[in-house]
A and B are shown apart, each in its own frame.
Chain A
Amino acid sequence: DQQVKQNSPSLSVQEGRISILNCDYTNSMFDYFLWYKKYPAEGPTFLISISSIKDKNEDGRFTVFLNKSAKHLSLHIVPSQPGDSAVYFCAARDSGAGSYQLTFGKGTKLSVIP
């Protein structure tokens, strides 16, 4: 049973336009949500996070929006750049689990076309 779902395996966007990556979750105990970026043959790299008590967090070109009632979050990248092409993973932390491990979605492969 997947607690974190990324329903779009891939997304193609023109350079300069906005990329929107979506994520849904089922566990109401998640207290932090994170986005990681992964290039082939490398480990995931942290991008941005948001606390469950907030609805928006912004860092440069990256903004994450959280809709708790819908159990949905999204990552906006604007403007998109070719170097943003990678697999993006949505992850969530359950502080009640004790281990504070992250639960990941399956990822969305973003391709930014020059």
Chain B
Amino acid sequence: DTGVSQNPRHKITKRGQNVTFRCDPISEHNRLYWYRQTLGQGPEFLTYFQNEAQLEKSRLLSDRFSAERPKGSFSTLEIQRTEQGDSAMYLCASSLELWGTGELFFGEGSRLTVL
């Protein structure tokens, strides 16, 4: 399977715990994006990487959220001290073209439930 892969698909955690999600993009894609989707809303942009550089992170929801992309391959999104309001679907997407159709290729998402 050469699509975007996300793990775990579902994470249930208690409030205050830290969680980490992993995204493996399509191998030749140099751009990687994280989005969050809550019930009844469209995906909301969080951050993006071009290769290993995180070029936009001002939309991360708080300082409890951080993302990395070591070596420009896979990426991780960490949420520290989780709160119930963090419950959502976290989506990863990747792309290659700058001047193409604008299409982002999404993974199946990681659903977070904070109890």
Chain A interface residues toward B at CB < 8 A: 4, 6, 9, 31-32, 34, 36, 41-46, 49, 51, 89, 91, 93, 98-107
For the A-B complex with A9-B40, A43-B93 known, give 18 more contacts whose Cβ atoms are closer than 8 Å. A6-B42, A31-B102, A43-B4, A43-B106, A49-B102, A93-B102, A98-B56, A99-B48, A101-B33, A101-B45, A101-B56, A102-B45, A102-B102, A103-B45, A104-B44, A105-B42, A107-B41, A107-B42
B2 CB within 8 Å of chain A: no
Verify A44–B43 contact, CB threshold 8 A: yes
A4 to B43, CA, bound (A): 12
**Contact among A44, A100, A107 with B95 in the assembled complex (CB-CB below 8 Å):** A100
B107 CB within 8 Å of chain A: yes
> Can you show 29 pairs from A to B with CB atoms below 8 A apart?
A4-B42, A9-B40, A32-B101, A32-B102, A34-B102, A34-B103, A41-B108, A42-B108, A43-B4, A43-B6, A43-B93, A43-B106, A44-B91, A46-B103, A46-B105, A49-B102, A49-B103, A51-B101, A98-B56, A99-B33, A99-B55, A99-B56, A100-B98, A101-B48, A102-B43, A102-B102, A103-B45, A106-B42, A107-B42
Verify B55–A98 contact, CB threshold 8 A: yes
A90 to B74, CA, bound (A): 27
Residue of B40, B48, B101, B109 with most partner-chain A CB within 10 A? B101
Q: Interface 1/0s, chain B 77-103, versus A by CB < 8 A?
A: 000000000000001010100100111
Chain B interface residues toward A at CB < 8 A: 4, 6, 31, 33, 40-45, 48, 55-56, 91, 93, 95, 98, 101-109, 111
A45 to B103, CA, bound (A): 10
Contacts of B48 in A (CB 8 A): 99, 101
Query: Known contacts A34-B101, A101-B48, A106-B42: does B56 contact A43 (CB below 8 Å)?
Result: no
Q: Which chain B residue has the least Cβ–Cβ distance from A50? A: B101
Q: Which chain B residue has the least Cβ–Cβ distance from A102? A: B104
Contacts of A98 in B (CB 8 A): 55-56
Tell me how far the C-beta of B87 lies from the nearest C-beta in chain A, rounded to whole angstroms.
15
Contacts of A51 in B (CB 8 A): 101
